Amino acid sequence: MDRLLEHAKSLYADRQRVALAAMMVAFSVTLYLFYSPGIYAIPAEPPIQLPPGWVQGFEIVYSFNTVGFFLAFAVMVFMYAFWSWAFLPTPAVNYTSAVLRGIFGSRSQITQSIGKRFRVFLTGNTWIDLTCHIKEPGSGAWFVYRLTSSPLHTSHLEEMAMRHGLGTKDGRLTAWVSSDELHHRSILLAKAMSLAASSA
Amino acid sequence: MSTDDTRRPVYELIQLMASLNETKRAILIALGHVYPRSVSGVQLSRLIGYSGRSRSLYRGVLAYLEQDKMILIDQLTPKLYAIRINSEHPLLQLLVDLCREFGEETRRIYLRALEVE
């Protein structure tokens, strides 16, 4: 794996650990905040004849405090999920854009958007979309890219894709690419796209 | 003219092989040599000297190769897969032909490795 990606990987693992630790602290703080001021029970009839201790316990669990606590916890989980969905560690961004600029020229227009996505603009109103996955859940591979071309209008798309080792979906060329294939398979994708454009 | 027609696929095949990473390249070379035999996942990971877990080979490598129509995977039983090269693929067809024509010795090595179990 590339040195930059190694760096990005360890950075990501560190940040994950920090996030987990922060979440544990936030969890205990919210637990304290939501249950210390007093219990606001949701009015309800206890289901059957229960001993009074059970009814008290029931009121604590079935209360607005619990609803609030769960909401706060859900917000925390959501923020964590958003963070890991949206951001790519900086070294990985540097690696990706260095590879892309190496192929498509240092003046090529590359935009980066939230959600670990990149878009490279090629000549003639075509572009390549890249989505980076930091860690694949199935295989455990780090930094896998999904390449998608802009829609192509040609009748031999299927064959053209095969000849370049690519797949097709909805009239676009697609490929899953590991980080060490990124360089060469982007070249092939760009080549296939220009062939498709000239044959249309 | 005719040499152009035969050499263009060779160029494309070289480009295709160059674009894949080591594991995928090893898989296609091995499968191209043992064609028309199909191999199981365990056999394949031994053939290519893969040290990772076979689950990661399926999910991370074989699934993508199948998506790009380079290999065919038949599920024989829930745990047993038959993996072979897609000989209908315009470029891999050429690879298979080349392996058959010039790769007799290599083929023997692969087949021997498959036999010893």
Q: pLDDT by residue (tens digit) across B45-102?
A: 888 888 877 777 888 888 889 888 899 998 888 888 899 999 888 899 999 999 999 9
And the tokens for B30? 């091995």
pLDDT for the residue numbered A12: 92
Where do the domains of chain B lie, and which CATH numbers do they carry? 2-115 (1.10.10.10)
pLDDT for the residue numbered B2: 58
pLDDT for the residue numbered A121: 92
Pick the residue with more confidence: A139 or B16?
A: B16
Contact call for A188 and B21, based on CB within 8 A: no
Residues A106 and A195 in one domain: yes
Complex ipTM tops 0.90: no
**Residue B1 above 60 pLDDT?**
no
**CA nearest to B20 within chain A:** A181
**Residue B19 above 60 pLDDT?**
yes
Do B99 and B33 form a contact (C-beta atoms < 8 A)? yes
pLDDT for the residue numbered A47: 65
| Element of type H or E holding B82 | strand B80-85
pLDDT for the residue numbered B115: 84
pLDDT for the residue numbered A46: 62
**Where a domain ends, among A38, A63, A86?**
A86
Q: pLDDT by residue (tens digit) across A32-71?
A: 888 887 777 777 766 677 777 887 777 777 888 888 889 9
Contact call for A139 and B70, based on CB within 8 A: no
Which domain does A16 fall in, by range? 3-86
Which of B12, B60, B91 faces A141 most closely, judged by CB atoms?
Answer: B60
Mean pLDDT value across residues A151-165: 87
Which of B55, B60, B68 faces A165 most closely, judged by CB atoms?
Answer: B68
Interface list for chain A against chain B, based on CB atoms closer than 8 Å: 136, 138-141, 144, 159, 161-167, 175-176, 178, 180-181, 184-185, 187-188
Residues A153 and A63 in one domain: no
Residues whose CB is less than 8 angstroms from the CB of residue B84 and which lie 6 or more positions away in sequence, other chains included = B31, B35, B36, B37, B38, B39, B71, B72
The C-alpha atoms of residue A29 and residue A118 are separated, in whole angstroms, by 38
Give chain A positions within 8 Å (CB) of B71: none
**Where a domain ends, among A86, A107, A127?**
A86
CB–CB contacts below 8 A, A to B: 62
**Residue B35 above 90 pLDDT?**
no
Mean pLDDT value across residues A7-29: 91
* pLDDT band, residue A120 (cuts 50/70/90): very high
User: Mutating which of B15, B19, B71 best tests the A interface, going by the most A Cβ atoms within 10 A?
Assistant: B19
Contact call for A138 and B89, based on CB within 8 A: no
Domain count along chain A: 2
Residues A193 and A137 in one domain: yes
Contact call for A165 and B56, based on CB within 8 A: no
Q: Can you list the alpha helix ranges (DSSP code H) found in chain A?
A: 3-35, 52-61, 64-86, 90-104, 157-163, 182-199
Residues A95 and A80 in one domain: no
State the pTM of this model. 0.81
Contact call for A164 and B60, based on CB within 8 A: no
Residues A43 and A111 in one domain: no
Do A159 and A26 form a contact (C-beta atoms < 8 A)? no
Q: Is cis: bond before B36, omega within 30 of 0?
A: yes
Give chain A positions within 8 Å (CB) of B59: 136, 138-139
CATH code of the domain covering residue A146 = 3.30.1460
Mean pLDDT value across residues A148-168: 88
* pLDDT band, residue B107 (cuts 50/70/90): very high
Mean pLDDT value across residues A24-35: 89
Contact call for A184 and B19, based on CB within 8 A: yes
Contact call for B21 and A163, based on CB within 8 A: no
Residues A104 and A160 in one domain: yes
Q: What is the mean pLDDT of chain A?
A: 87
Which of A136, A166, A187 faces B68 most closely, judged by CB atoms?
Answer: A166
List, in sequence order, every residue forming a beta bridge with A172; answer none if it has no partner: A169
Residues A97 and A190 in one domain: yes
Q: Which of A13-22, A57-66, A188-197 has the lowest mean pLDDT?
A: A57-66
Residues A30 and A80 in one domain: yes
Contact call for B70 and A163, based on CB within 8 A: no
List, in sequence order, every residue forming a beta bridge with B82; answer none if it has no partner: B74
Q: pLDDT by residue (tens digit) across A63-106?
A: 888 888 899 989 999 998 898 888 888 999 999 999 999 999 88
**Where a domain ends, among A69, A86, A103?**
A86
Residues A68 and A102 in one domain: no
Contact call for B20 and A141, based on CB within 8 A: no
